[in-house]
Copies of this chain bind each other. A is one copy, B any other.
């Protein structure tokens, strides 16, 4: 732990009033000074979206924990990170960033759709040690007691060891009480995907519209994956990078006659 109290930026994608955010804030306060910049409404599934075709608002917010500086915005989770640094903090970078706790899993392929994780990835892009936390429980009143213990362990270990450069951590927590969680495992992202479906409905004028739905399939039997860890009672930790280059494919492409 550094001598000076670190400044910790807390954000999420479920919105500033989400229960998961409050758990994260409570634990973050044990480690440093907390600044909240969070969406004013749910922004799940926003991925790495940024607001460039419309305006952004940033409003000072009353937070339910006293003495915490908090802002809400109409923007996305990635906007929250940018607004925090370049507006609320006047260009100063926070020492640490935590995002979540998401109500629902962000394991395997969900990392690319997740606003929670995109905020953590944006933190890594900005050179800030960043962690995204998700609990495998969609309920808005989910029990975050075990999650708080995991956040404490992960923040402690990250502040002590330092998160590897250019990476952030994707931490998923099974829906279990602390005593039933078997441990924390470092994992790779499973090759598990959504088989999408669209549920058609009709509006009052008879015009069709759709809701995105689907079935999650895990065909990856590897025991080194986040899905395996979660199915077996472990917390999964995946180091995530923002360099999307498939470096191993470069030599193959160089054989193409272009």
Interface residues of A (CB under 8 A from B): 42, 44-53, 55-58, 76, 78-79, 82-83, 85-87, 109, 111-113, 118, 121, 125, 153-154, 157, 161, 164, 166-167, 183-184, 186-189, 191, 193, 196-198, 201, 207-212, 237-247, 249-250, 252-258
**Complex Cα–Cα for A207 and B46 (A):** 26
Inter-chain CA distance A75–B243, complex, in Å, is 26
10 sampled A-B residue pairs with Cβ under 8 A: A48-B49, A49-B113, A50-B113, A55-B209, A56-B211, A57-B208, A78-B113, A191-B243, A240-B245, A241-B245
Q: What 5 additional pairs, Cβ within 8 angstroms, besides A82-B196, A164-B246?
A: A45-B49, A45-B50, A48-B112, A55-B211, A187-B250
Cα distance, A48 to B125, chains bound together (Å) = 16
Interface pair A243/B189, CB less than 8 Å apart: yes
Whether A198 contacts B112 by the Cβ 8 Å rule is no
Q: Is the CB of A48 within 8 A of B237?
A: no
The CA of A210 and the CA of B201, in the complex, are separated in Å by: 37
Q: Which of A46, A57, A112 has the most CB of B within 10 A?
A: A112
Q: Assess the A52–B57 pair: CB atoms within 8 A.
A: no
Q: Report the Cα distance A196→B109, complex, angstroms.
A: 28
